Structures are given as structure tokens and as C-alpha cells.
Amino acid sequence: MVLETMLVQLSRNWGWIVLRGVAAIVFGILSFAWPGLTLTVLVLLWGAYALVDGVVAFMTAFQLKAGGRPMWSFALLGLIGIAAGLVTFARPGLTAIALLALIATWAILTGFLEIAAAVRFRKIIPNEWLLGLAGLLSVVFGVLIVMQPGAGALTVVWLIAWYSILLGLTLTMLGLRVRSLPNLVPRTA
């Protein structure tokens, strides 16, 4: 019964997952379109993305309930995104290294939480590996930033753009797959 309820809830809320994916793709394309962005504009653009992503993830936590309770991984994911976005807007003058540390921390934490959610969904939905892959991309992205904090601004913009587009495509594919979940729920008389 709980499994069937979660499947129905996931299928009803597939659009939120796709929205997260589309936001990431748009952010990535904008980053490629204007590689000469000043660091301040990049900070604000990334802050807006993290804030929107956080709000959507937080809302998703209350739409997808497990045993009547919000999903903690999505709630925490949302709170981290909201906090990262708000800190970015409050302190747009952060140095490049501080910004990179903030982005890396956010990506690594987000990645681990997405992997945790994928593990939880492994028995519920087919192709939950897409969420796990999104989490892995986030962790790898964060680790790469930590390993190369002194990389040039253009390299960082391109790295962020590629990460955002790949993450967005992965989340969009996952959302579209989740849309068909009602077909997997057995009909009861």
C-alpha cells in the first residue's frame, strides 16, 4: 500500500523533477552564452539557480511522502539549496576561492543526498539510477572544484555550465520516466 501510494505521488509530481532539470539546463546554457561574465554576475546567477532549485526540492519533500512524513532527503536538499542561494545574495562580494568552496560544498552535499534518495527509490521505480547518476555528477563536480581552486574563471564557468547541463538532462529524463509510474501500480478491485 505504501509503495503504491509513493508511486502515485511520484507520478503526480514528475513535473517538479523536470523543472529542476530545465532550470539546470537553462543555467548551463546561459553560462556558455556569456563566458566573460564577471564573477559578481556569475555569483548572482548561480545564487538564483541554487535558490530556485532549493525551493523546488523543498516543496517536493512535502509532495512525496513516505509513510505520511515528508522525505527528509529532499527537505534537507532544499534547505541546503535555499541557504546557499541566500548566502550568495547576502555576500555577492565573496572571493573566487570562497565562491568555489561554497559551490563545491553545495554540489557534494547535494550529490550525496541525491544518491541517498536513489538508494531509497531503488525498489520503487525503474531507472532510479538516473537520480544516482545525477548525485554522482554533483559529487564529482564538487571534488573537481576542490582539487583545482585556482583554475581560471573561464574554466570554472565552463565546468559549471557542463555540470548544469548534464545534471539538467539527467533530472529531466528522470522526471519524464517518473511520469509513467501509474502504469506500474497494480489495479485493485
Q: Are 116 and 73 in contact (CB under 8 A)?
A: yes
Q: Are 11 and 178 in contact (CB under 8 A)?
A: yes
Q: Are 145 and 104 in contact (CB under 8 A)?
A: yes
pLDDT confidence bin for 39, thresholds 50/70/90: low
pLDDT > 70 in the chain, percent: 85
Q: Render 58-85 in DSSP notation, one character per residue.
A: HHHHHHSEETTEE-HHHHHHHHHHHHHH
Q: What is the pLDDT of residues 46-95, one digit of tens each?
A: 889 889 999 998 988 888 776 777 788 888 989 999 998 898 888 776 65
Nearest to 52 by CA among 73, 21, 15: 21
